Structure formats: C-alpha cells, structure tokens
Structure 1
Amino acid sequence: MYRTIARRANTLLALASIAVALTTSQNSPAQNAVDVKPTPQQTAWQDMEFGVILHFGTNTFLDREWGDGTADPKVFNPTQLNTDQWMKAIKASGAKYVVMVAKHHDGFCLWPTGQTDYSIKASPWKDGKGDLVREAANAARANGLRFGIYLSPWDRHEPKYKDSAEYDKYYNAELEELVQRYGDLAEFWLDGAGSAGHVYNFPKIIETLRTYQPNTIVFADTALFEYGDARWAGDESGSVGYQVWNVIDRHGYLRWRPIEVDTPLRNVHWFWHPKDEKSLKSLPDLLDSYENSVGHGGQWMLGVAPDDRGLLPDSDVARLRELGDALQQRYSHSLLQQHLPVDNNVTNALDGNTDTFWSAPAGSHAATLEVKLAKPVTFDHAMTMEWLVEGQQIQRYSIDAWTDGAWHTIVQSEAIGHKKIDRFPAVTAQRVRLNILTSAGEARIREFGLFRLDETATAAK
C-alpha cells in the first residue's frame, strides 16, 4: 500500500499555519520530550487500540490487489452485499472502529461523487443509485463502532492527475463531499503509495479536514509525517520490533505522533481473492500481532475484505470471532485483582478502570508500585498502561517478583506508553512490584495487571 510521495518544498512553512493539525502548541528543539503532550483527540484515539480497514471495489471482482484505473465500473456488482454482516463480525473481533476505503489507487469511488462518473453510479449495483460509504457508516455506528475514511491521493484513472493543480481541486472536491456527508470521522487515512514525483497541496487537504472534521485523527505514512496526527510503523508485518516513543523529532520540532501498525487478515492480500483460504492468518498469528502492536504501545489496524458477493467469507467471520473471544479470555481478568488491601493510590492501578491511575511521589524520577496477593499466583504475561495526558514519562522500568526470599527481576525494558504487554517464562509469586527505574517526570500508571496465558495460547494452536 505504501511507496514514497513527493513533498512540497514549503512544508515547514505550511506547518506553522496548521499547528492545530499537529500538537497543542509549538515546540522548540530545546524542549524536553516530556513537555510534549497529546491532544484529547489523540488520547481518545489511542484508547480505541484496535481498528479494521475495509478494502472493497473493482479489484474484488478482478482478482487484483492494484487496479490500474481501466476496470469497467460494470464489474462492480455484489449480489448479496450486507454491511451489517461486516460490522457484526468486526465488532465481535474486539475492534473499536472501522476505516472504509472509499477510493483506492484505481480511482473507483464507492460513493455517488459529483466529481467523476468512475464510481458506483456507473455500476449495476442498485441500478447505480447506491452509496456504499453511507451504508458502511450507518452499519458501523449501528453496531457500536466508530467510522473513518481512506481516500487515496494517487488516482490511476482520473485524467486530471497529470496536472497537479487541477488534480488538487479534484481531490479536494472529493474530500469535501466525504467529510460533510458521513458524520464524525474517527480517522482519516492519507496513504503515500504510488505517487513518487507527484506534488500535492497537502496544506489545503489538512485545512479542509480541520474545517469539517476538527476531531478526526489524520493517519499519514512516512512520506507525509508533517501532516498527520499519527504515524506509520514502517511496514505491514503487524509487529513493532522496537520501543515505541510517542514523541518524535520532526525537522528539529518535537511532536506527539502515536504509531499505527497495519496488517491484513489474509497474508499479503488487502483485497479478497478467490481460492485464497490458505492465506487466512491463524489465531496464534493474530494474537502475536496484537501483542506486538497494541502490546508495544501502538494502534493495531487489521485489514478485512468482503468477497465478490459483498459478504465477509465465513472463514473470516469465524476467525474474527475467535480473535475477539481470545482477547477477552486472555486480558479481561488480571490476577492482581486478588490483591490484599492497599491504599487508594495503588488500587487505582489495579481496579480495571482506565479513568483512574496510580501516581508516583511528586517530583520523583523513580518509584515502586508493590502489590501483595492473598496467595501465590502463577503468571507469564504482564500488562502495564501509562497515563499519557501529561505526556509519556517512563523511560526504563522492571517487573520484579519476590521468590526464594529475595526480589528477582523478570522483565527489564524501556518505554511503556499507552500499553505494554511483557511476556516471560511462568513465575509463581505472592509479591510483585513494578519498578520505575527512570522517568522524565512523575510516573502515572493507569493499569498494572498479571496474567497466566501460556495454557490459553497452547489451546489456541
């Protein structure tokens, strides 16, 4: 989905005029990262943790991943399309929001745009009177999911694409339709695929988004980092192989840019393909992806694709439900909820309520959160969440267990961020502590939990 996009030479100048799209304030290079805080919109988005992106279009009917813009609109004719079926399956997976690909790189539009005839208006589906984006948006919200939109900048069909200025007008007109017709958007995707050498007026795109959708989170890949509220992990493996820091340096300016980790439900394929059942990822693979994305402080974006009937295949529906059931089983009950009486401050990190948090002593740069249980428990996973409203503070930490009359470190790592899931060989202990070894400011912990999962994981295989 991703390739390099050319950027305007005046990017830095544009940043100053659209600061609302970036962070709550301008930041100088001398500022410490601890001073950079997320917007309320960014923290709300990070709290959703897991979304789904839907790919469906002419490619679905032609066994393609990358359309070239020449497909006849008449090939788009799903005979059993049911967006409610999609959203029920997505809801069952544990996802909190869905992003609809309204236009992929082939330029075919899934809503009745007034900008081109290359859309569902020219298809036989519903005699050209359908609006798939509206159906998807309505079904998502009816099933308790938030809704977002992907609109590809690269357009392999539109003749105006050869003229950057003319295409800017065209793209912005499409964008204005989408941001005004389909309610509040949780996320808007800017994909950098396929546009090497083309110049876009991204400041205008961002201005339009901020005018009509001030609360949407703009996801932008590595080519468009100047414009996004969230950044790409760098590949589509579904795993983050490094410590995630929400604050990153962009041209000498510190910005809060949480990371999104995208991967398809079927290996390699974002669109549905016939005779492709073997590519469906296993439940252990999906759980591993979750733990290496959400569990590394990132946002997990899972690609799901309806088939040429307009339905999610039965195998995909079943796998999504298995995923949701497994996540619920694995992480819904922390062993630390069996703790002996502690003060209210510690309770705030153990109560399963992410609106409360434990605070380290004022002015501290190291601290310890210790818990004693009613009886020894065996655990092999720990889940820790940092309170990020005041910024990402924790730099180094350890998790220690009291065994054989002494404290023993079972995990030592860097960066907690929104959520950190640590895995380790099973340990049995009655006393456990989270040791904040170094923090830029006062550490705050929303949740600290222990889980016994290796038996669950073995059963899933």
Structure 2
Amino acid sequence: MKFIKYTILLLLSLSISLAINAQTKSPKSSTMGDFMDKRFGMFIHWGPVSLRGTEIGWSRGDQVEVNDYDNLYKEFNPVLFDADAVVKTAKDAGMKYLTITARHHDGFCLWPTAYTDFNIKNTPYKKDIVGALNEACKKQGIKFCIYYSVLDWHHPDYPIHSPKNQTIDPKSDMNRYLLYMKNQLKELITNYDPYMLWFDGQWEKPWTDEMGKDLYAYLKKLKPDVITNNRLGKEFAAMENKNIDASKMIGDYDTPEQVVGKLNMTTPWESCFTICNQWAWKPNDKMKSLKQCLDIVSKTAGGNGNLLLNVGPMPDGRIEARQADRLKEIGDWLKVNGEAIYGTLGGPYQPNNDYATTRKGNKMYLHILNTNIAKLNLKAIPGRKVKKASLLNGQAVDVVQNSDISITLPASQADKLNYIIVLELNGNAEDIQIIK
C-alpha cells in the first residue's frame, strides 16, 4: 500500500512538474520561435501576367488593358515549370521556407479551386502549381507557405475593381465575398496544410479590422498552429517601416516591405525584398548584387527578423538562370556563415552599414559588412567581457577592452566579401539588453 501511495505521489509530482515546464518553456520551442529560427525564405510572385513582363496585379488596367490582362490565363502554359527544381533552388540558397502567390490582387488562382473558374485548371497548362510546390517542399524538407490576397479586383463581389479607380461598385456584396474567401482558405488549408499564410491587400477601404479579426479566428479554428502575417489588419510597418502598436496587430508577426525592419526583441517580423526591382518577372530587370543581398541577410538577422526574398519565374516556369545563380551564391555564403544566421537572436547592437550582430549561447557574431575599414569600436557590454575573438575558421582576431571594445579587423579580409567574427563572452549573450 505504501508503495502504491508513493507511486501515486511520484506521478502527481511529475505531472505538476511537466505542467510547469509547459507553461514556462522558452519561446524558441514555440511555433513562432521555430519560424523565427529559420530566418530565410523564398517568396514567389507568379501568374499569367508573366506573359507581359509587367507587375502582378498592379499593371491590370494600367500597363495592360483589363480585358487583355484577365484573358492572359488562356495563354498561360509554363511547360518548363519543375516544382522540384524550384524548391531545390530555394534549398541551395539556404532558404528554409517557401511562399507562393496562390492568389494575388488580380484574383487568378494557381490551384484548381472549386469556387471560381479563374484558375490554373482552365489554362492550357492545367496542372496544380500550388500542389506541386507543396509536394516538392515536403520531399526536400522546406516549409510550405501560401500567399493569399485579401483584395480581389477581378471578383464581382469585391467592391473595388481597379488599383487606379477606387470607386465602390454598388452591385458588389462584401458578405458574399467574405464567404468566398473563407471557402477558398478552408480549401487551401485542407488540401495543402500550409505552415504559414501570408496575407496582403488589406489597406483598401472595403476591408476592416473587424473582418481581419473574424478571419484570423476562423483560420486558427481550422488549424490552430498555422502562422499568419499581420496583413489581415491595418497595423503594419509596410514600406515606410513605421513603428507599430503590436497590441493592435492582427496576425502573428509584422511585415516591413523592401526595407530592413527595425531591431525588435519582442515583436517578430519578416522583411520581404525583391531580388530584382519588380515582384513579377520582367525582362532585363535590374538585379541586386551579391553584396546587397548579403547585407540584407545580415542586417535582417541582426535586427532579429526574417528575410523573405522574392523571385518571379518566367512565363515558361523557370527561374531565370542569373537569379538562380545569385541565390546559389547566397547559399554558398550561408554554408560557411550560417551559424551566425540560423537560430540566432538579433542584437544587442543596432545594425548599420559597417556591421550587424547576432548571438547564440555565449557567442556574439559580428557580421562585417564594410570590409574596407581596419578597426571597429563597440560600446562595452554591461557585465560581459570578450574571452576570445576569432574568424569562423579559428584565426585569432585582436581585441582590446577598456571603456569600449576595440577590434582590429584582419588585413587578410580587407576588400573581400562580408565575413563573421565570433566573440566568445564570459556569460550568456542572449540575455544582454539592447545597447544604444
């Protein structure tokens, strides 16, 4: 009997201990912690508009006449599209997740949806692009994510039908449109089980925060662990990189666009950038240099954010060779320097044009962006000292610590590509407050 009582008490004690641990587990073990640890993903903007080489959605009724734009799907036949090759390109770039524009502002759907004929099934190509990418991602260990526009200029029940003309259509019906959205999103979650949903287009007047809250609750009911960005609501950093009130945010993380987000240790964020200038494919579009791309990678991680880097496939389905080559160069850099990116925290220093910092355990990673300078001076870290400084290959780096931390940069790295210096501290680097 005593043994039974002892066993019951032991089991009770264990269950209480597990419950406490479950309540106090670190953010890194949460769904959002897992997402933020990934740091780098591929964005894909693609659709029939690639046949014209103009911007997706925004060129409808502007550079491309509406009737022409809306009928491009009848010609869309990307016979060289290879989902496995696209996902391998992402993986070789060091990307950990992939987000496809299943439906952009123009309303065209890259999957065979049951709720509109304006979809991939009715093109000469006919095959399910969303499904193919989902399968390829699962095979190659990449998280599959879906972009879905809140607005739809093509749909008769959405009140606005043009990016240039914001006149409300009196025949539209927002309630019917919201049901259409819910049906499609349920279809996407049921058929493809996305890791994350990326919304956009919520800035137009017909969409309200109340609609965003309702849709967010609906999605979490369908799939409690699905991650969503904050573009179900009006509160987001956007291209202006605004300071936002996180309590008003509808969604799980903020979305600065074409700009590196601000250092933030409390609100998760993800910056989206284009590898060229346009989101959708454009012939001879100016492409970012490898240096520009690596600066964005380091500054984003240094600000404690993720990077979603966009490519636009060509009309035949291939990613341009020059874009694929640039992505491979980024991946080659990450093979050497990835420990300073993945699974790190940003800070404690604000990134600038000379350097960025990330940290993990007792290590602080100093990303040298300006390789032309010979010395860096950092403000001292309260309660911490640098025990050892070296390049990732183990080569020692000279450090002098007085009222600040003075680092002599190795002459062997001058005028070369961005590199990392590892500063081993005499304590945990992750609990250091932001140093201003």
TM-score for the superposition, normalised by structure 1: 0.64
Q: 1:181 pairs with 166, 175, 191, which one? A: 191
Q: 1:326 pairs with 303, 327, 333, which one? A: 333
Residue type matched to 1:56 in 2? W
CA–CA distance in structure 2, aligned partners of residues 168 and 39 of structure 1:
34
Structure 1 residue 313: deviation in Å?
1.0
The change in CA–CA distance for 1:310 and 1:433 in structure 2 (over 3 A counts) is closer
| Aligned: 1:75 with 2:75 | yes
The change in CA–CA distance for 1:433 and 1:136 in structure 2 (over 3 A counts) is closer
Equivalent in the alignment of 1:118: 118
The change in CA–CA distance for 1:82 and 1:232 in structure 2 (over 3 A counts) is same
| Aligned: 1:210 with 2:220 | yes
Q: 2:51 pairs with 49, 57, 61, which one? A: 61
| Number of equivalenced pairs | 330
| Aligned: 1:155 with 2:152 | yes
Q: Is the 8 A contact 2:41 2:98 kept in 1?
A: yes
Structure 1 residue 120: deviation in Å?
1.1
Equivalent in the alignment of 1:223: 234
CA–CA distance in structure 2, aligned partners of residues 435 and 374 of structure 1:
15
Residue type matched to 1:165 in 2? N
SS at match of 2:301: coil
Deviations 1:285-317 (A, max 9, x none): 100111111122111110111111101111111
Q: Is the 8 A contact 2:107 2:154 kept in 1?
A: yes
Residue type matched to 2:258 in 1? E
Equivalent in the alignment of 1:445: 430
CA–CA distance in structure 2, aligned partners of residues 281 and 402 of structure 1:
34
Deviations 1:245-288 (A, max 9, x none): 32xxxxxxxxxx30111101112x11111233xx1111001001
Hey, which of these two has a bigger chunk of strand by percent?
1
Equivalent in the alignment of 2:143: 146
Residue type matched to 2:281 in 1? W
Q: Is the 8 A contact 1:349 1:446 kept in 2?
A: no
CA–CA distance in structure 2, aligned partners of residues 427 and 313 of structure 1:
37
| Aligned: 1:133 with 2:130 | yes
CA–CA distance in structure 2, aligned partners of residues 435 and 243 of structure 1:
24
Q: Is the 8 A contact 1:192 1:223 kept in 2?
A: no
| Aligned: 1:236 with 2:219 | no
Task: Output aligned runs, 1:406-421, within 5 Å.
Answer: 407=402, 409-410=404-405
Deviations 1:159-203 (A, max 9, x none): 0112211111111111110011102x2211121355234347223
Choose between structure 1 and 2 for higher RCO, CA contacts under 8 A separated by at least 6 residues: 1
Q: 1:314 pairs with 310, 317, 321, which one? A: 321
The RMSD of aligned alpha carbons is 3.6
Gap regions ≥5 residues in structure 2: 1-21, 61-65, 160-172, 236-247, 342-359, 366-380, 412-420
CA–CA distance in structure 1, aligned partners of residues 196 and 295 of structure 2:
25
Equivalent in the alignment of 2:31: 41
CA–CA distance in structure 2, aligned partners of residues 107 and 148 of structure 1:
18
Task: Output aligned runs, 1:257-272, within 5 Å.
Answer: 257-267=267-277, 269-272=278-281
Deviations 1:311-333 (A, max 9, x none): 11111111111111012223559
Sequence identity, in percent? Answer: 27
Equivalent in the alignment of 1:17: none
Q: Is the 8 A contact 1:45 1:186 kept in 2?
A: no
Gap regions ≥5 residues in structure 1: 1-23, 26-35, 247-256, 335-346, 353-364, 380-400, 412-423, 437-442, 448-461
Q: Is the 8 A contact 2:384 2:425 kept in 1?
A: yes
Q: Is the 8 A contact 2:98 2:144 kept in 1?
A: yes
Equivalent in the alignment of 1:349: 362
TM-score for the superposition, normalised by structure 2: 0.67
